[in-house]
Chains A and B, each alone.
Chain A
Amino acid sequence: GAGVSQSPRYKVAKRGQDVALRCDPISGHVSLFWYQQALGQGPEFLTYFQNEAQLDKSGLPSDRFFAERPEGSVSTLKIQRTQQEDSAVYLCASSLGTDIYGYTFGSGTRLTVV
């Protein structure tokens, strides 16, 4: 597609439920980032992939958060045993190379944990 696609657009989860958020980057983009944007805050870095390799996961808040990109294209962010503080917009971004020039964000998935 022409842009970064994220699904679902909205997700409501009961506390304790597991969720999976999907990101389809622009075709051919090497770099893929996940960010978390809490209400009223700026996005915060979660994790970074270069192709299928997860090179940095220092921003993942706890071991309940897990991300993968097994074939170097589509990525999934999984949150186990969701808690209310996980409620946020999860943004995915991709870039053609490993530099900052072609950084494109998706529209995000809004997760609400009730």
Chain B
Amino acid sequence: AQSVTQLDSQVPVFEEAPVELRCNYSSSVSVYLFWYVQYPNQGLQLLLKYLSGSTLVESINGFEAEFNKSQTSFHLRKPSVHISDTAEYFCAVTSTGGFQKLVFGTGTRLLVSP
């Protein structure tokens, strides 16, 4: 079984400042890792994923995350946030075998203010 811990329930930050949203996972088997974003009253949108290969993965809108197997972490970072990045961010894990149901963390609300 897998589990995901997102320690920060809310992260306030000023526009154009850097941000890091933390994610730690637990699993006895190999995993795939994901970050999803949820805007108010909308469904989850895939932000980025780690499946294999390079441990640093990037999204098209400037976010990046690094898979660290020794620390069982997959922290999400952005060097300069925009007001439009205000949303709920969920880290998720699934095992590499089977049909891959996702196990989500409890989410981190990113609040970007001017």
Contact = CB atoms under 8 A, between A and B. Distances in A.
Nearest to B36: A105
Interface string A34-61: 0100001111110010100001100100
A91 interface: yes
Contacts, number: 54
A13 B104 CA distance: 27
Contact of A107 (B32, B41, B94, B100): B41
Interface stretch (A64-72, A73-81, A95-103): A95-103
Contact of B107 (A41, A55, A100, A105): A41
B106 A40 contact: yes
A4 B99 contact: no
Interface residues of B, number: 25
Contacts of A100: 32, 34, 49, 51, 94, 100
Nearest to B9: A40
B43 A4 contact: yes
B42 to A, nearest CB: 6
B43 A48 contact: no
Interface in B20-53: 32, 34, 36, 41-46, 49, 51
Interface in A85-114: 91, 93, 98-100, 103, 105-108
Given A48-B101, A105-B44, A108-B43, A42 B32 contact: no
A107 B104 contact: no
Contacts of B43: 4, 91, 105-108
Given A40-B106, A56-B99, A59-B101, 20 more contacts: A4-B43, A31-B99, A35-B102, A42-B104, A43-B90, A44-B104, A45-B101, A48-B99, A50-B99, A91-B43, A91-B44, A98-B99, A99-B100, A100-B94, A103-B46, A103-B102, A105-B36, A105-B43, A107-B42, A108-B43
Interface of B: 4, 6, 32, 34, 36, 41-46, 49, 51, 90, 92, 94, 99-107
